[in-house]
Amino acid sequence: MKSQSTVDPGDLVQSIYCAFPEFSPGTQQDSQEFLRLMIDKLDTALKEHSSVKSSSFVFEVFKGRIETKVECKNCGSVSACEEDFLDLPVSLPESSELPQLNQESQKIMSEVDKINFHKKSKSKLSFFTKCFGGYSGKVLGLYDCLIDNFKSEDLHEEANLYYCEKCDGKYFSRRTNKIKQFPNVLIVVFKRFKYQRSSSKITKHIELPLSLNLDSFASEGSAPNYYLGGIIQHTGSLVRGHYTAFSKNHRDNLWYEYNDKFVKQRTLEKVLSSQAYIAFYIQNFEARQPLTNEPEEAYLPLEWYIKYQHLANPGPITLSSILCEHNNFSPLVDTCNAVPCSIKLWKHLNHQFSSQEEYLTSNTYCKTCLEYFRVLESRVQEEKALIESLSKEDSKLGPWFFVSAEWMQTWNTLMRWSLKTCVRPELPGPITNSVLFEEDELKSNLVRNKHYSVVNPKVWKALSLLYGFDVEVKRAFASIYFGKNVPDEEVTFPEEMYQRIRSLKIN
């Protein structure tokens, strides 16, 4: 048997504890809450390192969209609204509803799932649940939950009456929810926990289909096909519980259980008998061959190409991650971030994924941008050396000048910038000391280095000449709350120094 490499997630776990202290060892937390926090954290981090700030790879994996329609029973008019979702919470239907739900579920199940479903309905599990008041011999399946949650709802109660703009009044209505946009990975969360007067957990087994047909829940057209890719199981009570995970390995098509530091291969029967709390369904698609030996006629962004390799729907091709403002290849992007392909393939992919982009035919850096960034890089290095030399001329007697930490952070980031960082630099505007004040009064509890920095007169003079400022804050001492009465003493530089500073100023 070939040896397989493993990954030690220790560093990742420690990072999670730092990012989310509430999930430290020994605490009882909800895996759905953790999953949402984790997705949001990853999305934020990825957007910070991407030229596309609206969304990240993570959101494009999990994001779907629900369409809600409300029909006025008085005039028949329909209003619609849409809302994004990252997971799909579903309630568990009552036992009395199961016979009717089971019949409807049979209509949309695959043949394989129908066979498994009938086996379960005749199993000992169903016999015991029937004897002890569980499900009256009927098996609860994911389709039952989806049908129950997506059924139309009549709004007849006084508190829920719909205000119809056309009728200019509140009337009876019917509300319907459908899935408008299907995610690449669908996360289904079963509402097992009840938080009312007394909290409790619903322990009913839920039969999960291996393949998922969502055509009945699509707002229009047909839905993509999904297969079961993972399960999070919750065992124990609401107060003292334990989470384990089951995941299908796409390389060997085998299932594995992850229980703390232990990983074991599991049979499909064992996986499907788990007490699912969260189920992960992945869109089916044929494996795509890597683009090798392609002629260098056009270029695809690496960001999009990775999605193309791993997601059923990678979305439209967007060149913004590799283009500059002149629509040429950006010098802030490494050439390895552009994947070569033929123009014929580009046009095919452009059409297949509804893109509107014109293809990029060269990965040669934009000359205009390259010249600008080289000049900026040289200017940054010179300014950094200038401020460092002026900082060494500290006057222990003062006076001292104060710069908001918010502005200083932007300036320090610029001083660390170079073309090698492959990030567009943020240029500081005027020094914003006004953030240190509230209604013309200095804020209380300001802390040095956290809220402000202290610089000597020559550094302040140079920075104010380079960037300007909104409010000057000067003290006789290196504390922002003491020594306000400071005599006006103008700092002057030799003409040569003035000329040097003017040459560094960004227009």
Q: How confident is the model at residue 134 (pLDDT cuts 50, 70, 90)?
A: very low
Helix (H) or strand (E) holding 179: strand 173-181
What's the pLDDT score for residue 459?
A: 94
pLDDT at 86 (0 to 100): 93
Residue 433 reports pLDDT greater than 70: yes
Flag whether pLDDT at 484 surpasses 90.
no
Per mean pLDDT, which range of 48-57, 236-245, 278-287, 463-472 is the poorest?
Answer: 48-57
* pLDDT in the model for residue 396: 65
Which residue would you say has higher pLDDT here, 489 or 413? Answer: 413
Confidence of residue 16 (pLDDT cuts 50, 70, 90): confident
State mean pLDDT over 60-70: 94
Using the predicted structure, report yes or no on whether residue 183 has a pLDDT greater than 60.
yes
Rounded Cα distance between 468 and 367, Å, is 31
Q: Say if residues 191 and 92 touch (Cβ distance below 8 Å).
A: yes
Residue 130, pLDDT above cutoff 70: no
The lowest-confidence range among 44-58, 76-90, 432-446 is 44-58
Q: Is there a contact between 208 and 103 (Cβ–Cβ < 8 Å)?
A: no
| Three-class DSSP category at 344 | helix
**What tokens were used for 417?**
């910038």
Measured distance CA(8)–CA(27) in Å, rounded? 22
Residue 470 and residue 503 in contact, taking contact as beta carbons nearer than 8 Å = no
Pairwise pLDDT comparison (346 vs 1), residue with the higher score = 346
Q: How does residue 51 score in pLDDT terms, banded at 50, 70 and 90?
A: low
pTM given for the model? 0.77
In the predicted model, what is the mean pLDDT of residues 341-354? 90
Is pLDDT above 50 for 222?
yes
* Residue spans of beta strands (DSSP E) within 249-392: 255-259, 262-266, 276-283, 298-301, 338-341
Q: In what order do the strands lie in the sheet with 474-475?
A: 452-455, 400-404, 474-475
Q: How many Cα atoms within 13 Å fall on the side-chain side of residue 163?
A: 3
Q: Is the confidence at residue 128, as pLDDT, over 50?
A: no
Cβ atoms of 69 and 82 closer than 8 Å? no
> On the CB side of 77, how many CA atoms lie within 13 Å of its CA?
12
| Statement: residue 135 has pLDDT above 50 | no
Instruction: Centre a 10 Å sphere on the Cβ of residue 124 and count the other Cβ atoms it contains.
Output: 7
What are residue 266's DSSP bridge partners?
255
Residue 365 has a pLDDT of: 95
> Mind listing the pLDDT tens digit for each residue in 350-395?
999 888 788 899 999 999 999 999 999 999 999 999 999 999 876 6
- Please give the share of the chain, as a percent, with pLDDT higher than 90: 56
Q: What is the mean pLDDT of the chain?
A: 87
Lowest mean pLDDT among 180-184, 189-193, 485-489: 485-489
293-332: pLDDT as tens digits: 888 899 999 989 999 998 999 989 989 889 999 999 999 9
260 or 47: which leads in pLDDT = 260
Q: For residues 200 and 463, which has the higher predicted lDDT (pLDDT)?
A: 463
- Whether 49 shows a pLDDT value over 80: the answer reads no
* Separation CA 157–CA 150 (nearest Å): 20
Cα(46)–Cα(48) distance, integer angstroms: 5
How far is it, in rounded angstroms, from Cα 49 to Cα 58?
13
**Which helix (H) or strand (E) covers residue 96, if one does?**
none
